[in-house]
Amino acid sequence: MAERSTPFILEPDGTRREGAFLPFKVCAPDTGGLLSVCEFTLDAWDSGPVLHRHTDVDEAFYVVSGALEMQLDDERLVAPTGGFAWVPRGTAHTFANGGTDPVHVIALAVPGGIEDMFAEQAAHIVASGGAPDESVLDEIGRRHGATTLGPPIRALNAPAFESP
């Protein structure tokens, strides 16, 4: 049996992995590699990640509050408050906030370890002064089994961007 951490409780803003974009509540070393769990919030109409596909990781998303609009392969679906989305490996996916209120989500990755990709990408963004090379981010993703397939989405009912 793989090593696991001792039991713990995190404070509401706590994370088990510093520098990984998102607060990871449990990471691969805690679970013997079985699972990683993170939490995130997107403000009104904000987009999430690029459209991508994982070769070795299944993901699940529980919507604590708000509406998470997801693209799953060629389909657009909305998970409302209390909704749950299962994204098996090999599924092209991305998401955006589908409403005017923030969307708060708990996300799970099986097996664990996705936090390593987030930390490596975050380090590149910091090192680049906030202007990352997209090809470097894509390469980091590929090394971790996540292939970029397209740009992020915007919710279908989102208002048009206003010009300054």
Encode pLDDT of 8-21 as tens digits.
Answer: 999 999 999 999 88
Give pLDDT tens digits for 105-119: 999 999 999 999 999
d(CA 140, CA 128): 14
- pLDDT for 164: 61
d(CA 146, CA 150): 12
Sequence-distant (6+) residues with CB within 8 A of 88 are 58
Which pLDDT tens digits describe the chain residue by residue (164 residues)?
Answer: 578 999 999 999 999 999 988 999 999 999 999 999 999 999 999 999 999 999 999 999 999 999 999 999 999 999 999 999 999 999 999 999 999 999 999 999 999 999 999 999 999 999 999 888 999 999 999 999 999 999 999 999 999 876 56
- pLDDT for 142: 95
| Every domain of the chain and the residues it spans | 24-113
SS3 category, 119? helix
* pTM, rounded to two decimals: 0.93
d(CA 164, CA 149): 30
Assigned CATH topology for domain 24-113: Jelly Rolls (2.60.120)
Helices 114-127 and 134-143: crossing angle in degrees, nearest 10, is 160
